Structure 1
Amino acid sequence: MIIKVLLTLIFLAVMIGVGVYTRKQASSVDGFVLGGRSVGPWLTAFAFGTSYFSAVVFVGYAGQFGWRYGLSSTWIGVGNAIIGSLLAWILLGRRTKLMTQHIESRTMPDFFGTRYADQGLRVVASIIAFVFLIPYTAGVYKGISTLFEMGFGIPYEYCVIIMAILTAVYVILGGYKATAMNDFIQGIIMLFGIVAVIIAVLAAQGGLSEAVGKLAALPADASPETNGGFATWFGPDPSGLLGVVILTSLGTMGLPQMVGKFYSITDESAIKRGTVISTIFAFIVAGGCYFLGGFGRLYEPVVANGKIAYDSIVPAMLVTLPDALIALVVLLVLSASMSTLASLVLTSSSTMTLDLIYRDKKSAPGEVEEGTIDDIVSEKIERRKVVVMRVLIVFFIVISLMIALNPPTFIAQLMGISWGALAGAFLAPFMLGLYWRGVTTTSVWACFIWGVGITVVNMLLGNPINPINCGAIAMIGGFPVVWIASLLTEKMDKSTVDQIFQCYE
């Protein structure tokens, strides 16, 4: 216990120390939200990866989908690395950096308002982002607190509150730069931690071949007479597995807290290096998490009200490890979760402040305004915006805390609802807006209605479609919605669109 407490206190002291160190760079809006658009490839790549993978993945997803699909759940991690990381950087990295800098966009809702010349889109997108990032944040709290309760014996409620306060402190102090620097430290802990935990768990089962043999001897849920489904390449339910791969991989390209990382990277050469670093990180962390979760059936989960508590599966695997390894696991999950929490609260507060409370009047690219930006937006107002963002960070954390203290469902379902609505609404119009001049303003409205509508209706009807599959449908369906609506509705002014796309020439 002394080792666990000591390591955790050192870790938390470093996180807050980084916040204090970077506080001077967080005095302006660009500094607080984007780190001055000068964050290097290593920090950006680790920030992307650590925001991607949190306790939601390590505890919620690895436990639930490892139980359902066995070793084939490792494909989810592979998909996360190839689609969610490599493809995301290739498709979005350069174009997002250039276009958002050209149109002076600081947030994803700001992008929609300026790119499609409709400030109503900016307002609605900011509300969607704020509302649907809350359940995801609650899921992160729940995952980290489950592990802390296991490792330290501290009641769940206290864990949630402590983590919320500590995350708020360093984000409020240092903004995005503090978040990125801490993400780098946390990412290193995650890399070493996941490898060590996998080795320890497999050793406890007698080695890899012995563990796989035990898994192969278990009967499948759907057909008890057929053994071995959980040790096969594609598992007992390939179609269900595909839905999870799509949701957790494709979704990153439509999430404000993920895409925002491309806004702040230094230049195009940094994007190329960041692509490689981020992909390797995802292979190790995501692949490792789901591979570990695949052995969950070799342990005894908690059963509550006749149902398996999926969020208890990974803790059940880890509770038998030596204290030093449990301390490492706690730091691993703490690292993964605090980085994601920091990214979520910073995204939410900046979106609400810049796109709802203080909406600057923006001209189209190429137009000249009277006076400079410095003349229009005084230093005093810039400081006031930063203060408002800091206040909203506290507000957002309080709301998500209330949900986390009384979570309505499993971690995986919380994430499914959040990612489904956000990526269902934002993915298609954001990605297509970077490439296709023909996207219309009306088609973006249609996609917002589609993504949020299908998610909310499914939730109100009691989830007749599993939230995970519903989220995947929302994301993929957004592309034909935008394409068809763009063909049928009025085109944007050609000169305005040409000015926006000048950044690629």
Structure 2
Amino acid sequence: MSIAFVGVFVVGMLVVALMGYKRTTTLKGFLLGGRAMGPWMSAFAYGTSYFSAVIFIGYAGKTGWQLGLPGTWVGVGNAILGSMLAWMVLARPTRRMTHKFRAGTMPEFFEARYKSRYMKLVSAIIIFVFLVPYSASVYMGLGYLFQVVFPGLDYNLCMIFIAAVTGLYLVLGGYVATAMADFVQGIIMLIGIVIMVVCIVLSPQVGGIGAGAERLAAIDPNLTAVFGGENFGSLISLVLLTSLGTWGLPQMVHKFYAIKNDDAIKKGTVISTVFALVIAASAYFVGAFGRLFYGNQLPEGGYDAVMPGILDMAFSGSTGGLIIFNIILLLVLSASMSTLSSVVLTSSSAVSVDLVKGYIKPDIAKKTSLRLMRILCLAFVLVSLSIAIMRPAIIMTLMSFSWGTVSGAFLGPFAWGLYGRFITRTGAWAGMISGAGVSLLLAVLSGFDAANSPLFGVIAMAAGLIVTPLVSLITKKLPEEHVKAVFAPERDGAEA
């Protein structure tokens, strides 16, 4: 039955890829879909890129085990800070400036905003290098889940299959195919998450919300304390890392580049917020009951094995349960494939657009550039897959390290660059270096400490946000003509 469900899903994604192929004859079309995405596709693309197997398998499992029901606040924070406020604060100026600069990537934005080719080069390298572990963590999450669904299938074969499908539909259809697929996958995610919450709560192990909460409180009162009790510090770190972190991730803000107009932004803000609230809060809520399924004994596979085991115990043993389990399987597969395609597209563009076309060979032919982009998509998939096969760390640590470094480097220069006329080139450099440097330094000094990896990411983002304006206040300003051009208001009726 599971093979049939996955087979139908894969065929559907390949059909979507072929539909998008006709609209990706140019590099900008491949990367931005003609900058004509409506609110529903843009919002679902943002939401499905946000949540993947990392949240459903890695974060929900570990956060639920350690924090219990208060971990649900992480999902609420993702909806309010990571979605609603991100759209309200970033979407309109990002769309306006990237249209004005004709920028299709974050490194192109940095080059145009701060008049620095070297900043474009360095930011492209950061993207390609440090999004690899994030992509690898998604593959690992799917590999663990597929091992439960197909017990006789090798972990590595599961990931190779997923990589092949993702690479194929992305290489064929680019951003158009990704956005179309994200819309379909988003619907699957909404249906699957509602079914999962209802079934887990009503399972014998939980016995309803009230009974489940009482059983958790008997294990540890902190697991049901409104704001986490003694775990409050860890809770805040997770909320900030997974919510504010999206503001500086190039694969997330990229969705604002391609949205159609301001009206689509208003609608997309509401849609994205509701989507995030349903998906994220539900995932963390379900993960909170992990201890009840395992008798308060962490499973042999560690935190990454918690959620796959919960799903297996809750839905195996009956035809109806298997059907529900397969719907949830598609939920996690949908979330992960959309995230993978978004990350791969962002990373490969960092090399094709920002390094090769923007720095090494500016006169490269358009068709050659597009062909290179497709090849790099496959290359990034293979590199990420290779790391995932080695299983270097638990999923949550890989993701925290990746988010902390990338968002730490970009959050300050990007967010301040949208609003701060006084932000200088030197200030942006200082913010980028301090954010990435703090993340790397803390990770190395701690021996890549898994327990504190979310906190390290938060500190890195704070460093970039604080250093960027402070250094800008004491360093040479950009030419006034350039600043005026950057922040010039749009002409009436003009397309931003």
Is TM more than 0.5 here? yes
Kindly report which structure 2 residues correspond to 1:470-489, keeping only aligned pairs within 5 A, or say none: 470-489=456-475
Tell me the SS of whatever aligns to 1:359.
Answer: helix
Post-superposition offset of 1:303: 4.3
Which residue is 2:145 aligned to? 147
Which residue is 2:307 aligned to? 314
Mapped contact 2:98–2:257 kept (Cα < 8 A): yes
Which residue is 2:264 aligned to? 270
Which residue is 1:296 aligned to? 290
Post-superposition offset of 1:148: 1.1
Post-superposition offset of 1:459: 2.4
Which residue is 1:495 aligned to? 481
Which residue is 2:224 aligned to? 231
Kindly report which structure 2 residues correspond to 1:425-440, keeping only aligned pairs within 5 A, or say none: 425-440=409-424
Letter in 1 for 2:272: S
Post-superposition offset of 1:458: 2.1
Mapped contact 2:201–2:209 kept (Cα < 8 A): yes
Tell me the SS of whatever aligns to 1:491.
Answer: coil
Aligned partners of 1:463, 1:391: CA distance in 2, in Å? Answer: 32
Which residue is 2:494 aligned to? none
Bigger shift: residues 462-471 or 250-259: 462-471
Which residue is 1:369 aligned to? none
Letter in 2 for 1:279: T
Aligned partners of 1:503, 1:427: CA distance in 2, in Å? Answer: 24
Which residue is 1:366 aligned to? none
Q: Call closer, same or farther: CA 1:503–1:109 in 2, change over 3 Å.
A: farther
Q: Does 1:352 align with 2:351?
A: yes
Which residue is 1:367 aligned to? none
Aligned partners of 1:202, 1:240: CA distance in 2, in Å? Answer: 25
Q: Does 1:167 align with 2:161?
A: no
Q: Does 1:282 align with 2:276?
A: yes
Post-superposition offset of 1:460: 2.1
Aligned partners of 1:214, 1:102: CA distance in 2, in Å? Answer: 57
Mapped contact 1:179–1:343 kept (Cα < 8 A): yes
Aligned partners of 2:210, 2:159: CA distance in 1, in Å? Answer: 38
Aligned partners of 1:299, 1:446: CA distance in 2, in Å? Answer: 48
Letter in 1 for 2:34: G
Letter in 1 for 2:14: I
Mapped contact 1:102–1:503 kept (Cα < 8 A): no
Post-superposition offset of 1:145: 1.2
Mapped contact 1:149–1:155 kept (Cα < 8 A): yes
Aligned partners of 2:166, 2:181: CA distance in 1, in Å? Answer: 11
Tell me the SS of whatever aligns to 2:73.
Answer: helix
Letter in 2 for 1:460: V
Which residue is 1:225 aligned to? none
Post-superposition offset of 1:210: 1.4
Aligned partners of 2:150, 2:31: CA distance in 1, in Å? Answer: 34
Mapped contact 1:167–1:342 kept (Cα < 8 A): yes
Mapped contact 1:99–1:503 kept (Cα < 8 A): no
Per-residue CA distance 1:41-93 (angstroms, 9 max, x = gap): 10000000000000000110011111111000000000000000000000001
Aligned partners of 2:267, 2:201: CA distance in 1, in Å? Answer: 33
Ranges in structure 1 where 5+ consecutive residues have no aligned partner: 220-227, 362-375
Supply the RMSD in Å over aligned alpha carbons: 1.5
Kindly report which structure 2 residues correspond to 1:96-495, keeping only aligned pairs within 5 A, or say none: 96-153=94-151, 154-204=153-203, 205-219=206-220, 228-235=221-228, 236-300=230-294, 303-304=299-300, 309-320=302-313, 321=315, 322-359=321-358, 381-461=365-445, 462-463=447-448, 466-495=452-481
Per-residue CA distance 1:243-301 (angstroms, 9 max, x = gap): 00000000001000000000000000000000000000000000100111111111226
Ranges in structure 2 where 5+ consecutive residues have no aligned partner: 316-320, 492-496
Which residue is 2:318 aligned to? none
Aligned partners of 1:381, 1:291: CA distance in 2, in Å? Answer: 51
Bigger shift: residues 202-211 or 95-104: 202-211
Mapped contact 1:98–1:503 kept (Cα < 8 A): no
TM-score normalised to structure 1 length? 0.92
Tell me the SS of whatever aligns to 2:8.
Answer: helix
Aligned partners of 2:378, 2:436: CA distance in 1, in Å? Answer: 25
Post-superposition offset of 1:239: 0.9
Mapped contact 1:88–1:253 kept (Cα < 8 A): yes
Kindly report which structure 2 residues correspond to 1:11-22, keeping only aligned pairs within 5 A, or say none: 11-22=9-20
Post-superposition offset of 1:156: 0.9
Letter in 1 for 2:178: T
Bigger shift: residues 197-206 or 263-272: 197-206
- Give identity over the alignment, percent: 45
Aligned partners of 1:360, 1:263: CA distance in 2, in Å? Answer: 22
Q: Call closer, same or farther: CA 1:19–1:446 in 2, change over 3 Å.
A: same
Post-superposition offset of 1:217: 1.1
Aligned partners of 1:302, 1:179: CA distance in 2, in Å? Answer: 37
Letter in 2 for 1:208: I
Aligned partners of 1:195, 1:80: CA distance in 2, in Å? Answer: 18
Letter in 1 for 2:291: R
Tell me the SS of whatever aligns to 2:55.
Answer: helix
Letter in 2 for 1:156: Y
TM-score normalised to structure 2 length? 0.94
Per-residue CA distance 1:446-503 (angstroms, 9 max, x = gap): 1221122112222222136811100011112211100111011111001011011114
Aligned partners of 1:410, 1:501: CA distance in 2, in Å? Answer: 44
